[in-house]
Amino acid sequence: MTQPAVVRPLLEIRDLTVFHGQLRALSGISLEVQPGAVEAIIGANGAGKSTLLRTIAGLHHPSQGSVLLDGEDVTRTRPARRARAGIAMVPEGRRLFPSLTVEENLRVGASYARRGPWSIDSVYDLFGWMRERRRQKAAQLSGGEQQAVAIGRALVANPRVLLLDELSLGLAPVVVERIYTTLPQLLAAGLTVLLVEQDVGQALQVASRVHCLLEGRTTLTGLPSQLTREQVEAAYFGLRGATTGGVGHGVA
Amino acid sequence: MAWLDAVLQGALTGGLYALFACGLSLLFGVMKVVNLAHGDLAVVAGYVAVGIITVTHVPVLWSFLIVVPVMGVAGYLLQRSVIQAALARGELTTLIVTFGLSVVIENALLQFFTANSRGLGAGEALVRSSLHLGPRLQVAWLLVVIFAVAVLVLLGLQYFLSRSQYGRLIRAVADDREAAQLAGCDDRHVFGIAAAIAFGTVGLAGIAYGMYSQLSPSTGTDTILLFAFAAVVIGGLGSLWGTLLGGVVLGVAQQIGAQIDISDDVLAGYLVFLAVLVLRPQGLTTRRAGS
């Protein structure tokens, strides 16, 4: 359907509206993630960032709008099918299988893997300490270690898009730093990343494009290099004078 | 010698109770479903065995080759339809739904097979002959075989859950359903597989009880379900080997009760059940299934 001359976005969100009961969590969000990009979604608590990622993964159902993976509409597809099609998510709070060992967690992640560069071995190479402790129960690991296993569990599926939900939550800054240093290696292996982050500094550092949410609406989009601190603050806290970037607002 | 005999007989009967209990324990451990139709399904399996043996003349002992797969398929289908729909409405709904299922099955059995009880003649060799362990100490081969089957089933379940791909997925879904879905795992299918396995063991339990005693439409709720519950609670909910321990404790308690007064056997079992509930509600073992 799309013209082959234009680079098709790998992930496209069109006019997405999601309700939690009576509460409108997202209102008409649109965004595109190009192949190989790192799209960062920033915003305060309750802005709808996690809801957006969970809707893309299929855990919430939108009342309006659509989710497209490489041009294919997956809005009505169940989460497991989306995962097999190449959408992997590292959920907020890591959500490892606590009674399974590190290796078993990774093997569950690899159960329905696509072909690709990642395997349990390459994850062990990425996180050096993991091989030695593969027989430990996931529940016995520290928060940072669990986060690494959660990332590994998503990587071994060889996803096309990796959704990262609040990697920094509950972790020491040093640990967060260490986890984010692996990001370039993931991108080099051909991955596309959509991440949600409360830590704006961290997000601006790694993102190729930033998307700011406030109370379920887009308040700012743009390239990190072209955004001023004032613009970001205004969009983040909802101060007057917030500007909206050009991408996405296709509501006619 | 009479007391030693009681303990021995009771312990072996525990194998039968463990066979009753492991399907119940597995369903609860994996999907938090308390299947109140558990006993009735075992009776259905027993009746299916009676039917198969009448029609095809296969030996009683081999009827499980047909009954277990039939029950497995039934378990998968029931999970994907009725139980899944109930789970989606909350865990308590499954109690009501499986209770309804129990009533339906029991009345359907009454309707089609009358209230007469039936047994599965296991053959003279197994029922009449005994293993002599001493001058006045002997155990029926049938009980020895059932106990061995129970141990084999538990070993198989343990191996399956801890080593196989599907076992791993079952444990993952039991741990965190949403995270398992994010890994591409279809939770409903995985629950279906778990239900199929649980129902397979229910099939074995039905056949074993049919050989050990007599089956009637009410056996499911008044004997099999209650003994299964007692064994699961005594051993520890969700623990596979706990069901064997629970079964053995229940069996021994019943036999010792019978030694005191022949009509006290069932009562003694339930007294132990109550004592465990009060003193150690988590059961004698607290390990989780498959760990």
Of B169, B176, B184, the CB nearest to A83: B184
Task: State residue A5's pLDDT score.
Answer: 52
Is A153 close to B165, i.e. CB distance below 8 A?
no
Mutate to test the interface with B, among A108, A146, A165 (most CBs of B within 10 A): A108
Of A96, A104, A112, the CB nearest to B185: A112
Is residue B18 pLDDT above 90, yes or no? yes
Cα angle A149-B157-A100, degrees, rounded to a multiple of 5 = 10
Our CA-based measurement puts residue B272 at a distance from the nearest CA of chain A, in whole angstroms, of 31
The chain-wide mean pLDDT, for chain B, equals 89
Report residue A246's pLDDT band, with 50, 70 and 90 as the boundaries. very low
Mutate to test the interface with A, among B182, B190, B240 (most CBs of A within 10 A): B182
Domain-embedded: residue B290: no
Q: What is the rounded distance in angstroms from the CA atom of residue B25 to the CA atom of residue B131?
A: 31
pLDDT in tens, A44-62: 888 999 999 999 999 999 9
* Closest-CA residue to B229 (of B289, B145, B220): B220
Question: Residues for chain A: how many in total?
Answer: 252
ipTM exceeding cut-off 0.90 for this assembly: no
Domain-embedded: residue B187: yes
Is B175 close to A100, i.e. CB distance below 8 A?
yes
Question: Residues for chain B: how many in total?
Answer: 291
Task: State residue A6's pLDDT score.
Answer: 64
| Tokens 């976005």, located at residue | A9
pLDDT in tens, B140-153: 888 999 999 999 99
Of B168, B174, B175, the CB nearest to A107: B168
pLDDT in tens, B57-99: 888 888 899 999 999 999 999 999 999 999 889 888 999 999 9
| Helix (H), strand (E) counts: chain B | 14, 2
Chain B hits for A107, CB-CB cut-off 8 Å, are: 165, 168
The A residues from 107 to 126 touching B (CB cutoff 8 Å) are: 107-109, 111-113
Q: Which domain holds residue B236?
A: 2-279
Of A84, A97, A112, the CB nearest to B171: A97
Report residue B250's pLDDT band, with 50, 70 and 90 as the boundaries. very high
The nearest alpha carbon in chain B to A152 belongs to: B183
CB pairs under 8 A between A and B: 75
Mean pLDDT confidence for B240-253 = 92
Is residue B251 pLDDT above 70, yes or no? yes
Is residue B245 pLDDT above 90, yes or no? yes
Backbone angles phi, psi at B178, to 5 degrees: -65, -45
Burial code (b: 16+ CB inside 10 Å, e: under 16) for B131-154 equals: eeeeeeeebbbbbebbbebbeebb
Report residue B134's pLDDT band, with 50, 70 and 90 as the boundaries. confident
Is residue B252 pLDDT above 90, yes or no? yes
* Closest-CA residue to A54 (of A82, A84, A27): A82
- Cβ atoms of residues B203 and B64 within 8 Å: yes
Report residue B124's pLDDT band, with 50, 70 and 90 as the boundaries. low
| pTM for this prediction | 0.88
pLDDT in tens, A86-115: 999 999 999 999 999 999 999 999 999 999
Is residue A23 pLDDT above 80, yes or no? yes
- Cβ atoms of residues B80 and B188 within 8 Å: yes
Mean pLDDT confidence for B134-143 = 83
Task: State residue A252's pLDDT score.
Answer: 31
Mean pLDDT confidence for B223-245 = 90
For A2-126, strand residue ranges (E) read 11-20, 23-33, 38-42, 64-69, 72-73, 87-90
Task: State residue A67's pLDDT score.
Answer: 96
| Helix/strand/coil for A23 | strand
pLDDT in tens, A112-167: 999 999 999 999 999 989 999 999 999 999 999 999 999 999 999 999 999 999 98
Domains and CATH numbers, chain A: 11-95+160-237 (3.40.50.300)
Helix axes B38-56, B226-235, angle to 10 degrees: 120
Is residue B186 pLDDT above 80, yes or no? yes
Using H for helix, E for strand and C for coil, what is the string for B51-78? HHHHHHCCCHHHHHHHHHHHHHHHHHHH
A61 close contact with B: CB closer than 8 A: no
Report residue B133's pLDDT band, with 50, 70 and 90 as the boundaries. confident
Is A111 close to B183, i.e. CB distance below 8 A?
yes
Q: What is the rounded distance in angstroms from the CA atom of residue B171 to the CA atom of residue B288?
A: 10
Q: How many CB atoms lie within 10 A of CB B156?
A: 12
Tokens of A48: 């709808």
Percent above pLDDT 90 for chain B: 60
Is A80 close to B186, i.e. CB distance below 8 A?
yes
Cα angle B59-B62-B63, degrees, rounded to a multiple of 5 = 90
Domain-embedded: residue B226: yes
Q: List the alpha helices (DSSP H) in A141-226.
A: 143-155, 173-180, 183-188, 200-206
A59 close contact with B: CB closer than 8 A: yes
Task: State residue B288's pLDDT score.
Answer: 44
Q: Which long-range contacts (CB under 8 A, 24 or more apart) does B187-191 make?
A: B187/A80, B188/B79, B188/B80, B188/B84, B189/B80, B190/B166, B191/B30, B191/B31, B191/B79, B191/B83, B191/B84, B191/B87
The CA-atom distances, in angstroms, between A145 and each of A132, A140, A176, B12, B225 are 13, 10, 11, 47, 44
Is A99 close to B288, i.e. CB distance below 8 A?
yes
- Cβ atoms of residues B248 and B241 within 8 Å: no
Q: How many CB atoms lie within 10 A of CB B285?
A: 19
Q: What is the rounded distance in angstroms from the CA atom of residue B122 to the CA atom of residue B274?
A: 34
* Closest-CA residue to A112 (of B291, B161, B189): B189
Total structural domains within chain B:
1
Cα angle A35-A37-A41, degrees, rounded to a multiple of 5 = 125
Domain-embedded: residue B75: yes
Report residue A247's pLDDT band, with 50, 70 and 90 as the boundaries. very low
A96 close contact with B: CB closer than 8 A: yes
Our CA-based measurement puts residue A88 at a distance from the nearest CA of chain B, in whole angstroms, of 7
Task: State residue B122's pLDDT score.
Answer: 66
Mutate to test the interface with B, among A84, A92, A97 (most CBs of B within 10 A): A97
Is A95 close to B178, i.e. CB distance below 8 A?
yes
Chain A hits for B175, CB-CB cut-off 8 Å, are: 97-100
Of A57, A80, A95, the CB nearest to B185: A80
Task: State residue A229's pLDDT score.
Answer: 84
More confident residue, B76 or A245: B76
Our CA-based measurement puts residue A84 at a distance from the nearest CA of chain B, in whole angstroms, of 5
Q: What is the CATH number of the domain that holds B72?
A: 1.10.3470
Domain-embedded: residue B287: no
Is B182 close to A57, i.e. CB distance below 8 A?
yes
**End-to-end CA separation in angstroms for chain A:** 20
| Helix/strand/coil for A13 | strand
Domain-embedded: residue B248: yes
A185 close contact with B: CB closer than 8 A: no
Report residue B291's pLDDT band, with 50, 70 and 90 as the boundaries. very low
Task: State residue B286's pLDDT score.
Answer: 65
Mean pLDDT is lowest, of A29-33, B120-124, B177-181, for B120-124
Is B172 close to A100, i.e. CB distance below 8 A?
yes
Tokens of A140: 């016995």
Is residue B287 pLDDT above 60, yes or no? no
Is residue A244 pLDDT above 70, yes or no? no
Domain-embedded: residue B285: no
Domain-embedded: residue B286: no
